[in-house]
Amino acid sequence: MNLQRDLPIETAILATGETGGGVLYGMVDMLSSAGNLWPDFVGTGARQTLFQTQVVSNQRDAFRCANGVPIIADYTIEDDIVPEIVVVPEIWRPPERHLAENDAKLAAWLRKCHRSGSLIYSSCTGAILLAASGILDGRAATSHWAYKDYFSRHFDAVNYVHGSCLVTADPSGRIVTASGSTSWQDLALHIIARHCGAEEALRIAKGSLLRWHEEGQKPYAALVQRTTHEDCVIIAVEDWLGENFQQIAPINGAIAFSGLSERTLKRRFKRATGSSLINRIQCLRVEEAKRRLELSNDAVEEISVAVGYDNTSFFGRLFKRLTGVTPGTYRRMFQPVAQAGNIPFDRASDHT
């Protein structure tokens, strides 16, 4: 679905005290570069402003957002302006914290824009504000992987899609949500391609050295997230599993450690953590495998055995199911990051 319109396209990027400054200004910069970056680089073609990008906020005065990044809004949500495109960047908020006092006004503004025909895009945890507004009820959406349980607890009317990079809310295509953190880059490319054509999106991708996160966010997600609960026995079992998941029969070991029957342990573990006992063991083993793939050159077969799986084929299938990629692909994605700090340098040579 291509929505190329009259140019430039009026675009508002929402900024609050919790907005991530890097995403906010990164989105401003990338959309503002559309139509201008490529002619500057290659020296051919006319420069053209494709997006009229402005920052809108719930505060009229200058303020600092997350990590102290200064913000000066072009206008506020109180002004009678309905942009053609609204972009809601991430908001820095821990998953255990629910809606803030100012969210109601922001949600009301988003509902107004949606009713008036704006196309609405969110990046990462910006989807929380969309969900709070009600415009995602009965629709599909995604957000950062760490907020999957948050959505199930607070916004069960939203069809949360885990693992995808971009999710279109419904066939109308008027709402699109992007997953975690740097997926805002995919979202920006999507917006450019959708409104200005695929060729311009490709130019921005090439000029900015961007690539599409076709693997989604599953490879980046932590498979083990401890939940807060008050079952002391299960807390102790979780700690025990963290130290003993490589054992040949960790479930039997956990049963013996807990002093509970197998049926009771499995029932209480599921109730307290939201995860089955076998799933927790598998996630612990794959997390350790991920660490070894990142930090060592050990063969996949060796890593499989080290984390508790003699059957390497089974391990490979399990790894791909939980992370979305093969062990080899995972290593190629993340080992260069782990090794980035190993480049030697000579401080003395800096002054020669």
User: Which CATH number belongs to the domain containing residue 305 in this structure?
Assistant: 1.10.10.60
Query: At residue 202, does pLDDT exceed 80?
Result: yes
pLDDT tens-digit profile of 108-157? 999 999 999 999 999 999 999 999 999 999 999 999 888 888 898 889 99
Are residue 313 and residue 179 in the same domain, yes or no?
no
- Examine the domain organization and report whether 48 and 88 are in the same domain: yes
Residue ending a domain, among 193, 218, 243, is 218
Q: Per the domain annotation, does 225 fall within a domain?
A: no
**What gap in Å lies between CA 223 and CA 284, rounded to an integer?**
7
Element (H, E) at 290: helix 277-295
Q: Is the pTM of this model over 0.85?
A: no
User: Do 167 and 37 sit in the same domain of this protein?
Assistant: yes
Q: Is 121 helix (H, G, I), strand (E, B) or coil?
A: strand
61-101: per-residue pLDDT in tens? 999 988 889 999 999 999 988 999 999 999 887 776 766 66
C-alpha span between 114 and 300 (Å, rounded): 49
187 and 116 together in one domain: yes
Q: Is 253 found in the same domain as 171?
A: no
My answer on whether 281 and 248 are in the same domain is yes
Q: Please tell me whether residues 245 and 309 are part of one structural domain.
A: yes
CATH code (residue 67): 3.40.50.880
Residue 90 lies in a domain: yes
Residues 213 and 276 in one domain: no
Of 196, 218, 240, the domain-final residue: 218
Domain end point (choices 152, 186, 218): 218
Answer yes or no: is 116 within a domain: yes
Query: Measured between alpha carbons, how far is 9 from 32 in angstroms, rounded to an integer?
Result: 11
Answer yes or no: do 236 and 213 share one domain.
no
Cα–Cα distance measured from residue 130 to residue 114, given in angstroms and rounded to the nearest whole number: 10
Q: What is the pLDDT of residue 352?
A: 44
Cα separations in angstroms, 40 against 44, 196, 207, 234: 8, 18, 10, 60
Q: Judge if 90 and 153 occupy the same domain.
A: yes
- Which range marks the domain in which residue 292 is found? 232-338
Asked if residue 343 is part of any domain, the answer here is no
Number of domains in the chain: 2
**CA-CA distance, 102 to 84, in Å (whole number)?**
23
Kindly state the percentage of the chain with pLDDT values over 70: 91
- For residues 301 and 312, the answer to whether their CB atoms sit within 8 Å is yes
Are 172 and 243 found together in one domain? no
Position 111 in a domain: yes
Average pLDDT, the chain: 87
Has residue 108 been placed in a domain? yes
Q: What pLDDT, on the 0 to 100 scale, is given for residue 246?
A: 93
**292 and 259 co-located in one domain:** yes
In a domain, 61, yes or no: yes
Q: Is 349 domain-assigned?
A: no
pLDDT at 260 over 80: yes
